Amino acid sequence: MASLLYRLGRFSARRAWLVIVAWLAILALAGGAFALFGGALSSAVSIPGTATQKVSDELAEKFPAASGGRGTVVFTTTDDAPFTEEQKTAIGELLVDTGDLDDVKATTNPFETQAQIDQQAVTIAAGRQQISDASAQFDAGQAQIDEAAAQIASGQAQLDVAKAQAEAAGQLAAVQPQLAAQQAQIDAGSAQVAAQQAALDAARAEVEAQSTTLEQGAELLALAAEIRQVSTDETTAVAGIQFDKSLNVVPAEAKEAIVESMSDADIDGVEAAVSNDIASSIPEILGPGEIGGVIFAAVVLFVMLGTLIGASLPLINAVIGVGVGVLASLALSGTVTMLSVTPVLGVMLGLAVGIDYSLFILNRHRTQLRNGVPLAESIGLANGTSGNAVVFAGSTVLIALLALNLTGVPFLGLMGTVGAVCVLVAILIAVTLTPAFLRLLGTRILTKKARAGMGGAVASARVPVKPMNTLRAVVTVVAGIAVLLIVAIPALSMRLGLPAGSSEPVDSSAYKAYKLIDDKFGAGVNGPLIVVADLADAITDDELVGEQARIGTLLKAENNVVAVAPIGASDDDMLLAFQVVPEDGPTSETTEQLVRDLRGLEIDGVSSLGVAGNASGNIDVSEKLADALPLYLLVVVGLSLIILVFVFRSILVPVTATLGFVLSLFASFGAITAVFQWGWLAPLFGVHDPGPILSFLPILVVGVLFGLAMDYQLFLVSGMREAYVHGTPARLAVQRGVYAGRTVVIAAALIMTSVFAGFVFSNSVMIQSIGFGLAIGVLFDAFVVRLVIIPAVMHLLGDAAWWMPKWLDRILPNVDVEGASLERSHPGSHAG
């Protein structure tokens, strides 16, 4: 590999303009592909096959009227006064127009809906009064019937006595016609009373049935009493927007059209705020914070290299690499659903590793020039030595990123692939474009003082001549591990979730909508749950209201449920859907527990109970990622350990490298939890509403940070191994390896940290947390683990650090990361 890169470096130097033009052409092609085939980015996180997604699919299949994504628009009066009739009319007309927009299935007028709800209460009260009045009439009628029946019974008794007397006197035949006539009158009266009783009983039964239905409706109304469309002070109203497809596949143009429609409404005295389901912001790829991070990286480069030309070269390479990688990836956004954070991750990694990888080669080239190595030869040697190390270091990053596809989470796999593309481009640019620029710049890459001393006597480096003190090494290891473990403590309480409206920028429409709903209607209205009951047997229309009331009452009885409202029944009468409003917001622990409780609830006549909504989506995504993490770690760590065993020809060095990574990883998790969940130093980092940690952040940080950690391990420990194999005692080799590599590693780590830290001030909490996690992780890993703990551990291990079974040593190929064999075959590299 070293020889191949040497030749590639020499070729790139000889054909410098060809290489530069080729990369610019590739950049133009990537830009053209994006312009032609690029599509909109998505802000909705979803995973196929989860319990939440299954409920959504079932609704789409069996209950189309209740399927499709939903969002809300919050209208509020600017003077905090109740809505006027003119304002209500204008809002209603606006919603009618909104319903005609593309991909919008229906809109809900909050004033009409609230009026209907209020009218239902009035209707129920009137119905109860009517039933009460009817019952009183029935009672009066029953009294009359009972009185008539008593009179008939008395008449019958008198007739019977008269008949008995006539028979005793022997006059029965004479009075028989008169008695028969009287009996006929009594029988007719009795029949009439019976008919009246039957009619009264039928009417009473009908009213009782109506009363049952009315009370069931009243029960449903009571269950949903806390669900309002207009606030009690009549200053705020919530309108519903229903789409014809799931939110994650609704085109961004359709959502933007709604936002634009609401922004341009210009209703006097009314302000409209669109919820984050519709108006969640797409993060800017390069904002002021990100540019500030790049500027800080430029300052670090200038301080290290001493020339503006030298400082600008890695930056130019990184920018070109990011342009190629990100634009090429974005060209796929028209055919695949790409999360909005995906290209930002590509920018993060492309800038960070692009600058670092070019710096490694550039730094080696400058050292060789000062030693008197000819320009072209120095370029080839730098590419074959440091470039070789760049390729191996980059391979660990590529493995970690591409392995994200093994999680089975499509959006995460795509993020890893885009990040890997940007890293691969950074590697290719480092070993081709860097040599081309170095050839054009010539010796101007050095300071004037360095150019004046080229080829002359070089002051001998003041390399360490004695190893670290053993007691100091023990104290260093204990103290370093203790610090990282203390920082990691908050990670024990880390909660995972997905962003809600509260995490949007404070000046955004989505944040305002979230806070208005929270204040005027209750936190749970921001995250209602959809509960679907699959019935064991189909129900009839007569049974529908009663069954809804029965199941709704059981749902309402669960802890932290504020209200339950029936949505309807499927066409086959085998499915009932309900809206359940929790007490707290969609990211709260109580709402997540409610989802688990509802899924575990057993109801007679219900074969299964499904739950959908933001909270259930949070649980499903987190569980899916948690299940995928062990396999991911096994693959990433396993493959990287194999690479490191090849590189260092040691067992303990890769093991200690991995254990050090685990320490820095958990410390970074602890810092993330403290800032973004606990709210420590939140204002400093622009965190206005602390909440759960982004659900896919841990696995993403694991992948990226592991690759970067192995980079620094490679550049530092390879110097230790080089000194050791050249006969330096193991413990002294540790000191010399650190001395040789610390400057470039410190600069590289500062650059990478500054680039990542620039994204902490993004307008998206997703980008903020990813940038912070990677920045703090690099700081911990580079400055605590690699530069402090690992050298101390290597000192304590001594010769044992380089132990390897003889049988394994015989079968392993010789991986010359630093290109030592190339240097031996090119003695000019030691000139001067």
For 776-820, the pLDDT digits (tens) are: 999 999 999 999 999 999 999 999 998 888 888 788 777 656 555
For 252-278, give one letter per residue: b (16+ CB within 10 A) or e: eebbebbbebbeebebeebbbbbbbbb
Per the CB < 8 A criterion, the answer to whether 382 and 9 are in contact is yes
Do the beta carbons of residue 660 and residue 712 sit within 8 Å?
no
**Distance between CA atoms of residues 500 and 381, nearest Å:** 52
> Can you give the pLDDT at residue 832?
37
What HEC string does 439-487 produce?
HHHHHHHCCHHHHHCCCCCCCCCCCCCCCCCHHHHHHHHHHHHHHHHHH
Write down the pLDDT at residue 67.
66
What is the per-residue pLDDT for 283?
A: 62
How many angstroms separate the CA atoms of 290 and 774, rounded? 14
In the chain, how many H helices and how many E strands? 26, 10
Angle at CA of residue 254, ends 251 and 257, nearest 5°? 150
In terms of C-beta density within 10 A (0-12 exposed, 13-18 middle, 19 or more buried), how is residue 44 classed?
A: buried
Give SS3 for 601. Answer: coil
Query: What is the SS3 string spanning 236-290?
Result: EEEEEEEECCCHHHCCHHHHHHHHHHHHCCCCCCEEEEECHHHHCCCCCCCCHHH
Using CA atoms, how far residue 316 sits from 313, 386, 749, in Å, is 5, 19, 19
* Those residues with Cβ within 8 angstroms of residue 693's Cβ, 6 or more apart along the chain or in another chain: 494, 495, 496, 497, 672, 673, 676, 677, 769
Measure the N-to-C terminal CA separation of the chain; round to a whole number of Å: 27
Closest CA to 692 of 615, 751, 756, 602: 615
Q: Would you state the pLDDT for residue 781?
A: 93
Q: What's the pLDDT score for residue 594?
A: 92
Q: Which residue has the tokens 């067992």?
A: 651
Residue 110's pLDDT is what? Answer: 93
462-482: string of b/e by CB count within 10 Å (b at 16+)? eebeebbeeeebeebbeebbe
Query: Which ranges of the chain have pLDDT less than 50?
Result: 457, 459-460, 829-832
pLDDT of residue 831: 41
pLDDT for 761 equals 83
Structure tokens at 830: 């030691």
Whole-structure pTM value: 0.81
Which helix (H) or strand (E) element contains residue 682?
Answer: none
Is residue 438 within 8 A of residue 317, CB to CB? The reply is no
pLDDT value at position 456? 56
pLDDT score recorded for residue 489: 96
CB 443 within 8 Å of CB 365:
no
Contact by Cβ (8 Å): 530, 51: no
